[in-house]
Structure 1
Amino acid sequence: MLVNLWKRYGLVFAAGAVCIVVNVQGIGPLWYTGVALLIAGRVMRVTLIREQRPPPGREPLLLRAPVTGRWLALNGPATKVPSHTHSHAQTYAIDLKYVPEGGGSGQGVTSQAPPFRWLWPLARSPRRYPTFGRPLLAPADGVVVATAGGQRDHLSRMSLPAFLFLYLEGFIRGLGWPSHLLGNHIVLNLGDGVYAAFAHLRRGSLEVAVGDRVSAGQQIAECGNSGNSSEPHLHFQLMNGPDVMTAQGVPFAWRYRDDDGVAHTGVPADTTHCVPLSPLPDRPYEARAN
């Protein structure tokens, strides 16, 4: 019961902000109430995030990569941990953007993502990005435990004014429910207390529903630009529970090759490219590396 209350820290913080904004009588009961609620909301958030810090030393779980083709890794655990933040079980999360090899096309859209602009254009259609519409695959056999697929794919935030807006937008989204941050998403139960989450999916692209069983390598959705996203990409993470508000992150590994053709087992470092390879032949699509 207490955990469920703590998960509503956003509402408490927002209520405090409203009290202060509507207060017209200076420092008084309403102002003090607002300040108290702001402090309470902040304390609730910090306490909840502290509980989401995973214990150190867990071995990465070897999975099938959830994509095919050549991808650029960003905000991944090979470069720093937490890769994002401990909040929402993102300790070992990774962001991936599709970058076609040899300038090839991406799902019939464009072969190159539009560059970041300082002022203009402020935003672009997500369809301008090669990542948009790329198929996403189940990393192991599992069962679908949560889905959301109706949020719109918004314009990119790849200009300075739009990027500043993204920070404000992200703060506000963070006060709401997890789906406001994740956008369209899927959570899979991979067994042994491990869950995989896919975020920022394309509206209407989900090919599974809660309760469906999926096989490793099966297409389950497409990349989109929903939720707290600057441009189309896949946000992928493992966690030890189905609720991103209370679960802890779990490390993972893939087999992939880099641009020099060297094969690796692990997670690509930030700003490096990777092409997924088949899993180890004696342990296909295992959920465990040991």
Structure 2
Amino acid sequence: MGWSRTWLGAAPVPITLNLAYPFNGRWLTQNSPANRVPSHGTTLYASTFAIDFVPVDDSGRTAPLTLASLVYPEPAARFPGFGRSVLAPVDGIIVALHDSEPDHAAFRGLPSIRYALTQARRAAAGWLALAGNHVMIRTHNGSVVALCHLQHHSVRVRTGQRVDAGQLLAGCGNTGNSTEPHLHLQAISGVDVMSASALSITFPGGLPRNGTIIDAQ
């Protein structure tokens, strides 16, 4: 792990944070900083190096695409990864969490276009409107890892609790700025997303590119 010259309190901030995959089973990589930076097309809320993982079934697919799903919103529970366990990717202390946002419908096809047109409104509403339910873990060196779009009332940790990598945090949901159940992960230099800097991340075997299916054990 490399280190920058910036300090948070008494601990240096890592240039690249080495993480474990925050799940078991098969997940599809999307919006990876291995493909482009900023990975989500914006640096807003220190999201420059954020990455998304979509839970998929054994065949590598999410919910079957039908004519109806191209025209109408779909229940989030229809997707195979809805509620799948989200695990801590690093040892640390829970410094922030939110658990009360309801899961909204999933949007593909025409509904996804209509939903995209309202994204600026959600961005203007602030971090919570984008992240939805989330957990933030502060590591031993002061960096913070945020895991977002979690399932309504699924968080199994509390603020101030120490967690180990691999420990159950919550379920995968569809809250915040999300078109289908998935996990958004980003690393930042502090808990305040308005003032924090984005930190790059990596995983065992390197940073996966878009379209890579991770089969974590």
Query: What is the TM-score with the length of structure 2 in the denominator?
Result: 0.87
Range 170-179 or range 181-190, more displaced: 170-179
**2:30 counterpart of 1:74:** yes
Report if the CA contact (8 A) 1:136-1:220 is conserved.
yes
1:68 Cα deviation after fit:
0.9
What residue ranges of structure 1 are gaps of 5+ in the alignment?
1-57, 104-110, 256-264, 278-290
1:93 maps onto 2:50 in alignment = yes
For residues 4-43 of structure 1, what are the structure 2 equivalents within 5 Å? none
Structure having greater relative contact order (Cα 8 Å, sep ≥ 6): 2
Q: Deviations over 1:19-44 (max 9, x none)?
A: xxxxxxxxxxxxxxxxxxxxxxxxxx
Deviations 1:208-239, CA, capped at 9 Å, x for gaps: 11111111110011100001101110001111
Partner of residue 164, structure 1: 113
Whole-Å Cα distance in 1 between the matches of residues 30 and 70 of structure 2? 24
Is 1:202 the counterpart of 2:151? The answer is yes
2:13 paired with 1:83: no
Match of 2:4 in 1: none
The residue correspondences of 1:134-153 to structure 2 (distance < 5 A) are: 134-153=84-103
The gaps in structure 2 that reach 5 residues or longer are 1-13
Partners of 1:67 and 1:98 in 2: CA distance:
9
Partner of 1:234: 183
Q: Which amino acid aligns with 1:147?
A: L
Q: Aligned-pair RMSD on alpha carbons?
A: 1.9
Q: Counterpart in 2 of 1:271?
A: 211
Q: Which moved more, 1:88-97 or 1:111-120?
A: 111-120
Query: Structure 1 residues 172, 117: CA separation in 2 closer, same or farther (over 3 Å shift)?
Result: farther
Where do 4+ consecutive residues of structure 1 move more than 3 Å? 116-121
- Deviation (angstroms), 1:140: 1.3
Distance of aligned partners of 1:184 and 1:117 in 2 relative to their CA distance in 1, 3 Å threshold: farther
Letter in 1 for 2:207: V
More helix by share: 1
> Following the alignment from structure 2 to structure 1, what is the Cα–Cα distance between the partners of residues 161 and 119?
31
Q: C-alpha displacement at 1:191, in angstroms? A: 2.3
Opposite residue 181 of structure 2, the aligned amino acid is P
1:131–1:119 Cα change, 3 Å: closer
Q: Which amino acid aligns with 2:208?
A: P
What is the alpha-carbon distance in structure 2 between the residues aligned to residue 59 and residue 246 of structure 1? 17
Residue in 1 aligned with 2:3? none
The structure that has the greater radius of gyration is 1
Q: CA deviation at 1:165?
A: 2.2
Measured after TM superposition, the shift of residue 117 of structure 1 is 5.4
What whole-Å deviation, never above 9, does each CA across 1:170-189 have from its counterpart, x for those lacking one?
A: 11111113111111111110
Report the CA distance between 1:59 and its aligned residue: 4.5
**8 Å contact kept, 2:55–2:181:** no
After TM superposition, list the pairs within 5 Å mapping 1:58-137 onto structure 2: 59-84=15-40, 85-102=42-59, 112-115=62-65, 120-137=70-87
In structure 2, relative to structure 1, the CA distance for the partners of 1:197 and 1:276 (3 Å cut) is same
- The aligned amino acid for 1:90 is S
How many residues are matched?
203
* Alpha-carbon distance change, 268 to 143 in structure 1, aligned in 2, over 3 angstroms: same
Distance in 2, matches of 1:114 and 1:245, equals: 38
Task: Compute the TM-score of the two structures, normalised by the length of structure 1.
Answer: 0.66
In the alignment, residue 91 of structure 1 is paired with which amino acid?
A: T
